[in-house]
C-alpha cells in the first residue's frame, strides 16, 4: 500500500479564505488557463493510510511538470505532460509512458487520477464540455471527484482538495506565481535526456 501511495504522490502533484457560498460565479468553464509555477505540500490518503511530500509544479502550455520531493528536497519522481502524452520518472530514473496522465496512473497504481485537470481546478474553474455539478456548499463534482478549493488574500489557490470516496488528495500551496523560465518549452525535458 505504501508503494501505491508513493507512486500516487509521484503522479500528482496538493491566511485561508473560504470561497463564497454563492455558486453562481464559481467554477466557470475553462477556456484558457495562464501559465503558472507553484510550490507546496501534497497529502494522499488511500484506504486509511497516508503519504506526504512536497511538490513544485510548472504549467506552461503545452508542457506541465510536477516534481514530488522529500522534505529535504530530494526528488522522488516527476510527472510531465506534453502534446506527446504523459510520462513519469521515478527516483531510480525509470521512465513510464502513456498517452494520457489518467492512463499512466491507471497502469502504475490502479487508480484513475485526474492529473490532467488539476491546473484547471486549482484555478477555480471546471473542465469545459464535461458533465459537472455544483454542490450546495459550493464544491464542484466532476469526473467522479468532489473538488474544493480555498484561496489566499490575493485570490490564488491556497488549498485544493479532491475526494472520490477511495482516495483523498490535498495540495497546500505555499507559493504560486509566474514561471521563471522566459522560453516556453515544447516538450517534457525528460523526453530529451
55-81 confidence digits (pLDDT tens): 999 999 999 999 999 887 788 889 999
CA atoms within 13 A on the CB side of 142: 26
Q: What does pTM read for this prediction?
A: 0.82
Say what percent of the chain tops pLDDT 90. 52
Sequence-ordered list of residues with C-beta below 8 angstroms from that of 166, at least 6 positions apart, any chain: 46, 47, 111
Local confidence band at 15 (pLDDT 50, 70, 90 cut-offs)? very low
Sequence-ordered list of residues with C-beta below 8 angstroms from that of 51, at least 6 positions apart, any chain = 2, 5, 6, 8, 9, 43, 44
Kindly list the structural domains of the chain, giving each domain's residue range(s) and its CATH number in brackets, ordered by start: 2-191 (2.50.20.10)
The region, left, alpha or beta by phi > 0 then psi within -120 to 50, assigned to residue 73 is left
* Mean per-residue pLDDT, 167-176: 94
48: Cβ–Cβ under 8 A, 6 or more apart, which residues? Answer: none
**Signed CA dihedral, 99, 13, 117, 7: sign only:** positive
- Match 495562464 to its residue by C-alpha cell: 34
Q: Which of 169, 148, 149, 176 is nearest to 52 (CA)?
A: 169
Q: Note the pLDDT of residue 169.
A: 94
Three-state SS across 132-184? CEECCCCCEEECCEEEEEEECCCCCEEEEEEECCCEEEEEEEEEEECCCCCCC
pLDDT in tens, 80-120: 999 999 999 998 999 999 998 888 888 887 777 888 899 99
CA distance 79 to 101: 8
Residue with the bigger pLDDT between 49 and 134: it is: 134
Three cell numbers, residue 97: 509512458
Non-local (6+) Cβ contacts of 114 within 8 A are 102, 121, 143, 145, 162
Amino acid at each position: 500500500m505504501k508503494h501505491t501511495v508513493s507512486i500516487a504522490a509521484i503522479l500528482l502533484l496538493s491566511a485561508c479564505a473560504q470561497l463564497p457560498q454563492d455558486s453562481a460565479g464559481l467554477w466557470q468553464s475553462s477556456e484558457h488557463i495562464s501559465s503558472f509555477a507553484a510550490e507546496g505540500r501534497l497529502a494522499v490518503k488511500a484506504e486509511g493510510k497516508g503519504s506526504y511530500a512536497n511538490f513544485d509544479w510548472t504549467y506552461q502550455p503545452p508542457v506541465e511538470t510536477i516534481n514530488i520531493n522529500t522534505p529535504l528536497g530530494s526528488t522522488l519522481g516527476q510527472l510531465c505532460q506534453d502534446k506527446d502524452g504523459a510520462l513519469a520518472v521515478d527516483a531510480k530514473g525509470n521512465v513510464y509512458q502513456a498517452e494520457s496522465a489518467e492512463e499512466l496512473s491507471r497502469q502504475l497504481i490502479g487508480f484513475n487520477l485526474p492529473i490532467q485537470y488539476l491546473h484547471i481546478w486549482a484555478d477555480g474553474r471546471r473542465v469545459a464540455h464535461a458533465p459537472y455539478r455544483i454542490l450546495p456548499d459550493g464544491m464542484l463534482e466532476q469526473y467522479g471527484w468532489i473538488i474544493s478549493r480555498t484561496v489566499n488574500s490575493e485570490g490564488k489557490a491556497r488549498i485544493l482538495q479532491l475526494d472520490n470516496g477511495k482516495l483523498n488528495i490535498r495540495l497546500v500551496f505555499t507559493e504560486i506565481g509566474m514561471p521563471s523560465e522566459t522560453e516556453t518549452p515544447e516538450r517534457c525535458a525528460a523526453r530529451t535526456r
